[in-house]
Chain A
């Protein structure tokens, strides 16, 4: 969006609360990089502590730490948004040009078999043995050395992401990007925006100066959590109580398989293959599970492995022999972004039974895939861990143990807290991306989505920003 505004000749300014880090800053150490690259130093959770929420912070946002998966918004989802939510110009044919542009800009390509590490090869082998639907994923990397440290930032600058590709293009077109400046309020009179108030911070995190940007339009791009929180603390008109509601988390949990052979799951590109056997994007579908690999470096792994002490250490000693899969739920649960007394975001999300059941189905499927690929033992981490010696043992397992507060849940794709729609009583922004009540306020991130999309959202977010940019440009010129 910033690039499009600048290329249209507008004076475009971006404020980013976090720092501007580059490949030299990324040292591949979990303890340091989690704190640098993630909101709340990687410790963000839902209000009830059931779901860990990993969201990026700093110039480039989550595109600095993500694993570069590139999937378009499924056609069924776009058709649903057009049909049920009355959103104009979002049929697949309307978005095609935007998808093609962003995929070209980010050099998106299919990951060929030579790029597949052993963990992903196990997922492929499991799919083939069971006859389940699966296939290679697409990514945006050039010059990848397959170090496997993607989630800690790329030390080799191989990610064709916002900070490497799009922001430099925006700056060349005349945009200004300010890091270490937190937007704390949208300036408005209840009818139209007038700018943004911010706080510039030093390296120690302490406030150094107040900042005010006077502007004819303001574009929120602070994520489904951050954008809704900023709108709330700014007192953006909300006559129908829709702001912050409709939050989807795309939550997931993991299943661990132990193999006779070494897997070295931390080496190589983390995610290159997907299983879509249990994923269909039709509304109300009872197949809403996306399965990919989810290997973690030692701190992440140690936190997920059940227990502590000697038994935990014994499990960790088989670290090189583990393969890990995750099932993420294309969720129907509707959460909410609120503010606490210090105006910090609060994520309220109570998983509904239909989603919990999907999660249980998904974890059982992960276990089947691991056994089909030759696992000696499979564990579903839970408060009482489920340990399985073979696929048949699954039939005897009571899958009601798969629930929030029992299995550790993680969400990396929050979306839908300021959703688009035709009806102002049921949505926050119009089909143009502009707020129903507040003229000049636009949204250009995953907050827009009225439902989960059930796949990683980065390409959808970029494409919607491109797709909606002309409306923001028109408003800026008309004001």
Chain B
């Protein structure tokens, strides 16, 4: 995973024609880089993308603030009387 992150930061932007590291690109260009990795010919790069995606969504969708946005009412265990905020 560390090696994939290094690839994403340094090599993937070059492969998409950008001369800057990933974290310094604007969001639209970052999306372009991610899209090209997601649809890469390389099974390893695609798997790396899925790994990162899993980690990010694990963090994002564990949060009650996200649950509300997608209409999920959350766990019953420990649910506050007025629902998860």
Contacts and interface: CB of A to CB of B under 8 A. Distances in A.
Interface in B11-61: 31, 34, 38-39, 43-44, 46-47, 50, 53-54, 56-58, 60-61
A383 B41 CA distance: 10
Contacts of B70: 298, 316-317, 319-320
Contact of B71 (A31, A317, A383, A405): A317
Interface size class of A (residues with CB under 8 A): 20 to 34
B7 interface: no
B85 to A, nearest CB: 16
- Best-buried of A149, A302, A309, A317 by chain B (most CB within 10 Å): A302
Interface string A287-331: 000000000011101110001110001001101100000000000
B77 interface: yes
A48 B43 contact: yes
A442 interface: no
B43 A298 contact: no
B45 to A, nearest CB: 11
B76 A147 contact: yes
Given A149-B75, A155-B76, A307 B61 contact: no
A266 B72 contact: yes
Nearest to A408: B50
A44 B73 CA distance: 29
A383 B45 CA distance: 12
B75 A27 contact: yes
Contacts of B31: 308-309
A302 B75 contact: no
Contacts of B58: 30-31, 299, 303
A97 interface: no
A48 B44 CA distance: 8
Interface of B is mostly: helix
Given A31-B62, A298-B66, A383-B46, A303 B71 contact: no
A322 to B, nearest CB: 10
Contacts of B76: 28, 147, 149, 155
B39 A383 contact: yes
Interface in A15-49: 26-31, 43, 48-49
Interface size class of B (residues with CB under 8 A): 20 to 34
B81 interface: no
A302 B72 contact: no
B80 interface: no
Contact of B57 (A28, A266, A299, A320): A299
Contacts of A48: 43
A320 B74 CA distance: 12
A49 B47 contact: yes
A405 B54 contact: no
A29 B75 contact: yes
B46 A27 contact: no
Contacts of B57: 299, 302-303
Interface in A319-351: 319-320
A165 interface: no
A340 to B, nearest CB: 16
A49 B53 CA distance: 14
Contacts of B72: 266, 297-298, 319-320
Given A316-B70, A319-B72, A302 B61 contact: yes
Nearest to A306: B38
B34 to A, nearest CB: 6
B61 A308 contact: no
A267 to B, nearest CB: 8
B81 to A, nearest CB: 17
A319 B71 contact: yes
Contacts of A266: 72
A266 B56 CA distance: 21
A49 B77 contact: no
Given A308-B34, A317-B70, A319-B72, A30 B62 contact: yes
Contacts of B44: 49
Interface of A: 26-31, 43, 48-50, 147, 149, 155, 266, 297-299, 301-303, 307-309, 313, 316-317, 319-320, 383-384, 405, 408
16 contacts: A29-B62, A30-B58, A30-B61, A31-B62, A49-B47, A50-B43, A147-B76, A149-B75, A149-B76, A303-B50, A303-B53, A308-B53, A313-B69, A317-B70, A320-B70, A408-B50
Complex A-B, nearest 10 residue pairs according to Cβ-Cβ distance, in ascending order: A28-B75, A49-B47, A302-B57, A31-B62, A320-B71, A298-B61, A319-B70, A299-B61, A405-B43, A316-B70
